[in-house]
């Protein structure tokens, strides 16, 4: 086999919004950029984001007085104090610029209509006079866990519109994209990343890309939950997996997994939070709005972790609608009216019609909470530079940057993609500008040989053995039933045991197809072990974290424990090591002290030390865990005390 | 939930086009499979079931499985459609699947739409052309919401390729912009942020490879899974180009 070796300044793995926005930044700085993508970039999962992008523009009446401080407060509270507050601060300040830049790239944002507008707010239809002087500015809609209407949107296809605009910019700049390509192994020499080995999904052939700087922007790992996810089939977490396989780069907070309240039952296709933002209700089998009792203040618009738990509990209490696929609850959009549903929520209307045969203007929509977002990912510093591995960067959902902590707010991730793309892209451009490509190509060829050997081993294995899809289904069942919305020590123990057994099964699994070319079964088999490893560290991390924080809820440890667990889980696991190694670092410098989120439980175990004591050695301790130096000093972007300003 | 859930289980007969260009022994042919129908069974579910339980070598593309990403265009009983959105309950017992024509075949039902659409974007320069640099300090420029909605209407294309596959002209003229290409051009034409003038647009769409290459059969309008008003789009482009011609 003739080994193909390509070189470039910057390699971006992942052609979604984060990767492409990052690529634009690097290309604009004059670097040669190559994007590898599993699918044509416009088919990346960014396109499925529906409801909106959070940015504190404050353009409509219900957004009046909004500012970055309020956005910061919502984000940190939403994270249940798991976020890095400096990153949250950087994010809220950059989000308005990123959203306006998308307008410059061509996104048709929905705009403020000056004059009388009719909205549904907390169950009431109200008329609000939008200010004429704001006519034509970017409009906002309400989302969960926010003090103001803040989500900027293009109907219910915000991700689609943003992705097409950003990809157009990628084409304009002439950036090379190799689609149908799977990055399967990082090229590194133990402390410096030099690119990746990839497998072409047209031909099945491997090739190596050596680069001065490498960016992982491969999205989340929702598919470790099998079919119990809103995620696309391509969200298998391979970026996180190839970083984990180095044994050096840690993943952060893998147990922090978000469950979205409203996936269409039973297909698990997402129905945007924007539907509740625009006034939809959640109903139980008696058509009762249970969220009004559960969360009188925020009602259906508490944060996703809180709403999902109330829903799950409601179904456990026998108030769900029983079906052969299990129980579900109802989403009621009928009172929003057909006009609203076919314009501002058009994609929701189409999904209900096409996949459930229902008309949301007349019918109730069956929904259930389902895996949706990966707060965890490749741990990086505020520049997006991965821990312990110079030249490796990460952006978007693949990262644990970490502005979401243990629960992200709706609309914050879509904004994160372009914000992180801008910020990490600048860092990447700077790094690549100062670096030279003096890689020992032997390292690249050795990595390629390992990758080719893995494929050859799969094809050579014969005899009876489990098949890869059965193992995948078992993994999904284990994850959803035992590492789901409510978690418990004994169940998590069982999940870890089951996943361990599935890893052993995977080593014995046999392909039934030896077809040359990309071979879809081989393609999946090559990912399966990686997915099982991600599932394993997620379950094990959840078992070890004996508290409840954000989306990680332990029935046996129901309180948030700021005395012992105000930290971030890190896990390293070399490809050939038996067990992963867990360690814990401080979440970052604390400015807003831990407190009540404003929804959910107000009970918690308080910090024993003061924030000042906590902060005293934060950066030194993170450095011990592998945080590399940042272009600006650690903590330099904090706006200490700003949250106390009158708002 | 819906009346679409059938009570009696049908035994579906699939005939699927097979060809693996990477396999020297592979010859193009139709292959038969049988599958028990299940409630709400889409072609996404059916094809995965066939691959996972009967024939692991079968190639096809799905990603979002919710009619948003545009990966799964295929010929379903002779008509281009998104596989994920096509319910078997809406089809007869015999289901014939072919890859979309026009696009380069990758294998079985999988075709290379990515390369085609990237080329289309490059050829029509489907991006905002502007002399103005982005000012990160400035408030966004205003736009009337009606206009934003009109641009959004054209923006909804998911580049699945169904219209291109259905188009008689695109099937014989590889240079033809195709319905999706013309729609993309119209989307930028009505966007005031794009500073291209009548003469620039004339260049892009007036040739036989542009809107005047269209023979008006309008299958594209009928098959578009996003129900884009392609008829109106074509009429709009012809009007604009003719007006530009008379004005010059």
Task: Give the pLDDT confidence of A570-617 residue by residue, as tens digits.
Answer: 999 999 899 999 999 999 999 999 999 999 989 999 999 999 999 999
Percent of chain A with pLDDT over 90: 96
Q: How does pLDDT run across B118-163, given as a tens digit for each residue?
A: 999 999 999 999 999 999 999 999 999 999 999 999 999 999 999 9
Q: Of B65, B67, B192, which to mutate for an interface test with A (greatest number of A Cβ within 10 Å)? A: B65
User: How high is the mean pLDDT of chain A?
Assistant: 96
DSSP A38: S
**C-alpha–C-alpha distance, residues A157 and A144, integer Å:** 18
CA distances from A179 to A415, A522, A580, B113 (A): 24, 18, 32, 10
pLDDT exceeds 90 at position A646: no
Kindly state the average pLDDT of the residues A197-203: 98
Give A379: exposed, middle or buried? Use CB within 10 Å, 0-12, 13-18, 19+: buried
**C-alpha–C-alpha distance, residues B139 and A112, integer Å:** 14
| pLDDT computed for residue A585 by the predictor | 98
| pLDDT computed for residue B3 by the predictor | 42
Our CA dihedral for A12, A14, A19, A24, rounded to 10 degrees, sits at 60
Q: Which helix (H) or strand (E) holds A65?
A: none
Q: Which residues 92-151 of chain B have a CB within 8 Å of chain A? A: 106-107, 112-115, 117-118, 121-122, 125-128, 130, 134, 136, 138-145, 148-149, 151
Point out the catalytic residue in the list A21, A140, A276, A408. A276
Q: How does pLDDT run across A223-258, given as a tens digit for each residue?
A: 999 999 999 999 999 999 999 999 999 999 999 999
Give the CA diameter of chain A.
74
Residue A9 φ then ψ, to 5°: -75, -50
pLDDT exceeds 90 at position A645: no
Determine whether the interchain pair A355/B66 forms a contact, defined as Cβ–Cβ distance below 8 Å.
Answer: yes
**C-alpha–C-alpha distance, residues A510 and A457, integer Å:** 10
- Tokens at A618, concatenated: 């934060």
Residue with structure tokens 């709009």? B236
**C-alpha–C-alpha distance, residues A416 and A219, integer Å:** 12
Cα angle at A161 between A156 and A165, to 5 degrees? 170
* Position B245 confidence tier, pLDDT thresholds 50, 70, 90: confident
Q: How does pLDDT run across A95-141, given as a tens digit for each residue?
A: 999 999 999 999 999 999 999 999 999 889 999 999 999 999 999 99
Q: Determine contact: B7 vs chain A, CB below 8 A.
A: no
Q: How does pLDDT run across B61-71, given as a tens digit for each residue?
A: 999 999 999 99
Q: How does pLDDT run across A274-305, given as a tens digit for each residue?
A: 999 999 999 999 999 999 999 999 999 999 99
What's the pTM value of the predicted model, to 2 decimals?
A: 0.97
| pLDDT computed for residue B7 by the predictor | 56
pLDDT exceeds 60 at position A82: yes
CA distances from A62 to A50, A140, A276, A278, B127 (A): 21, 8, 16, 12, 33
DSSP A636: T
Distance from CA of B201 to the nearest CA of A (A): 17
Active site residue A639: no
Determine whether the interchain pair B69/A105 forms a contact, defined as Cβ–Cβ distance below 8 Å.
Answer: no
Query: Edge-to-edge strands of the sheet including A151-152?
Result: A53-54, A151-152, A140-141
Q: How does pLDDT run across A373-431, given as a tens digit for each residue?
A: 999 999 999 999 999 999 999 999 999 999 999 999 999 999 999 999 999 999 999 99
**C-alpha–C-alpha distance, residues A411 and A45, integer Å:** 15
Under 8 Å CB pairs connecting chains A and B tally to 198
More confident of the two residues B8 and B172: B172
Determine whether the interchain pair B22/A517 forms a contact, defined as Cβ–Cβ distance below 8 Å.
Answer: yes
Kindly state the average pLDDT of the residues A175-185: 98
Nearest chain B alpha carbon to A235: B63
Is the Cβ–Cβ distance between B228 and B160 less than 8 Å? no
Which of B69, B145, B151 is facing A43, going by the closest CB pair? B69
Give the CA diameter of chain B.
66
**Residue A220, Cβ neighbours under 10 Å: how many?**
28
Q: How does pLDDT run across B177-231, given as a tens digit for each residue?
A: 999 999 999 999 999 999 999 888 888 888 889 999 999 999 999 999 999 999 9
pLDDT exceeds 60 at position A1: no
User: How high is the mean pLDDT of chain B?
Assistant: 94
Active site residue A260: yes
**C-alpha–C-alpha distance, residues A135 and A141, integer Å:** 15
């Amino acid at each position: 086999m003739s080994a193909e070796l390509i070189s470039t300044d910057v390699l971006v793995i992942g052609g979604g919004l984060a990767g492409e926005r990052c690529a634009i930044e690097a290309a604009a700085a004059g670097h040669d950029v190559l994007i590898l993508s599993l699918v044509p970039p416009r088919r990346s999962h960014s396109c499925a984001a529906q409801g909106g992008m959070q940015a504190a523009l404050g353009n409509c009446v219900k957004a009046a007085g909004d500012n970055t401080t309020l956005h910061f407060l919502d984000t940190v509270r939403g994270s249940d104090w798991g976020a890095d507050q400096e990153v949250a601060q950087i994010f809220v300040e950059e989000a308005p610029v990123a959203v306006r830049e998308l307008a410059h790239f061509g996104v048709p944002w929905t705009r403020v209509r000056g004059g009388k507008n009719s909205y549904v707010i907390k169950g009431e239809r109200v008329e609000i006079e939008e200010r004429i002087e704001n006519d034509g500015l970017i409009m906002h809609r309400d989302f969960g866990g926010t003090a103001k209407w803040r989500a900027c949107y293009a109907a219910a296809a915000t991700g689609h519109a943003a992705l097409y605009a950003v990809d157009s910019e990628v084409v304009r700049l002439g950036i090379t994209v190799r689609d149908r390509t799977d990055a399967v192994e990082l090229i590194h020499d133990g402390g410096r990343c030099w690119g990746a080995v990839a497998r072409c999904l047209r031909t099945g052939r491997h090739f190596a890309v050596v680069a001065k700087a490498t960016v992982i922007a491969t999205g989340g790992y929702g598919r470790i939950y099998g079919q119990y996810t809103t995620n696309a089939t391509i969200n298998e977490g391979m970026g996180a997996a190839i970083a984990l396989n180095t044994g050096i780069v840690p993943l952060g907070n893998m147990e922090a997994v978000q469950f979205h309240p409203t996936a269409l039952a039973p297909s698990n296709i997402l129905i945007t939070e924007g539907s509740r933002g625009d006034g939809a209700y959640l109903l139980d089998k008696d058509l009762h709005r249970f969220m009004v009792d559960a969360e009188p203040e925020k009602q259906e618009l508490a944060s996703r972790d809180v709403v999902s738990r109330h829903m799950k509990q409601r179904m456990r209490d026998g108030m769900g609608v029983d079906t052969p696929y299990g129980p579900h609850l109802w989403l009621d959009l009928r009172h929003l009216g057909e006009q609203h549903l076919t314009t501002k929520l058009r994609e929701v209307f189409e999904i209900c019609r096409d996949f459930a045969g229902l008309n949301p203007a007349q019918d109730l929509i069956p929904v259930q909470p389902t895996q949706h977002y990966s707060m965890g990912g490749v741990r990086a510093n505020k520049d997006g530079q991965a821990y312990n591995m110079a030249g490796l960067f990460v952006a978007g959902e693949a990262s644990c940057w970490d502005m979401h902590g243990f629960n992200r707010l709706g609309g914050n991730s879509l904004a994160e993609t372009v914000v992180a793309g801008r910020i990490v892209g600048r860092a990447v451009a700077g790094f690549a500008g100062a670096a030279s490509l003096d890689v020992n190509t032997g390292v690249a060829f050795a990595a390629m040989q390992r990758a080719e050997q893995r494929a050859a081993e799969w094809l050579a294995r014969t005899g009876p053995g489990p098949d890869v899809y059965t193992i995948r289904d078992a993994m999904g069942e284990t994850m959803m039933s035992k590492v789901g919305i409510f978690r418990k020590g004994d169940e998590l123990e069982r999940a870890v045991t089951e996943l361990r057994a599935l890893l052993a099964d995977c080593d014995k699994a046999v392909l039934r197809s030896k077809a040359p070319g990309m071979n879809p079964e081989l393609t999946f088999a090559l990912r399966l072990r990686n997915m099982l490893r991600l599932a394993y560290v997620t379950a094990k991390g959840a078992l070890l974290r004996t508290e409840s924080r954000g989306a990680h809820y332990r029935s046996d440890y129901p309180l948030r424990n700021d005395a012992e667990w105000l930290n971030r889980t890190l896990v390293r696991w070399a490809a050939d090591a038996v067990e992963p190694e867990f360690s814990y670092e401080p979440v970052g410098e604390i400015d807003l002290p831990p407190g009540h989120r404003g929804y959910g439980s107000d009970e918690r175990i308080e910090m024993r030390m003061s924030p000042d004591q906590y902060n005293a050695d934060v950066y030194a301790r993170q450095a011990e865990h592998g945080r590399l130096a940042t272009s600006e000093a650690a903590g330099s972007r904090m706006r200490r005390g700003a949250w106390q300003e009158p708002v | 939930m819906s009346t679409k859930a059938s009570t009696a289980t049908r035994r579906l007969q699939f005939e699927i086009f097979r060809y693996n260009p990477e396999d020297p022994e592979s010859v193009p042919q139709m292959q038969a499979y049988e599958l028990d129908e299940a409630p709400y069974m889409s072609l996404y579910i059916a094809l995965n079931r066939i691959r996972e339980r009967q024939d692991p070598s079968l190639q096809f593309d799905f990603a979002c499985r919710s009619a948003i990403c545009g990966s799964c265009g295929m010929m379903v009983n002779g008509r281009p459609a998104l596989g994920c959105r096509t319910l078997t309950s809406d089809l007869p017992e015999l289901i014939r699947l072919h890859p979309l024509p026009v696009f380069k075949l990758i294998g079985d039902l999988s075709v290379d739409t990515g390369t085609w659409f990237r080329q289309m974007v490059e050829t029509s320069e489907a991006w905002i052309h502007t002399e103005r640099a982005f000012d990160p300090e400035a408030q966004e420029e205003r736009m009337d919401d009606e206009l934003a909605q009109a641009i959004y209407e054209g923006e909804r294309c998911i580049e699945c390729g169904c219209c291109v596959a259905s188009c008689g002209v695109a099937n014989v003229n590889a240079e033809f912009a195709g319905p999706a290409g013309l729609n993309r051009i119209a989307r930028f034409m009505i966007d005031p942020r794009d500073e291209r003038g009548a003469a620039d647009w004339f260049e892009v769409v007036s040739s036989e490879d542009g809107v005047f290459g269209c023979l008006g059969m309008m299958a594209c309008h009928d098959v578009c899974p996003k129900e884009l008003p392609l008829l109106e789009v074509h009429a709009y482009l012809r009007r604009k180009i003719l007006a530009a011609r008379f004005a010059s």
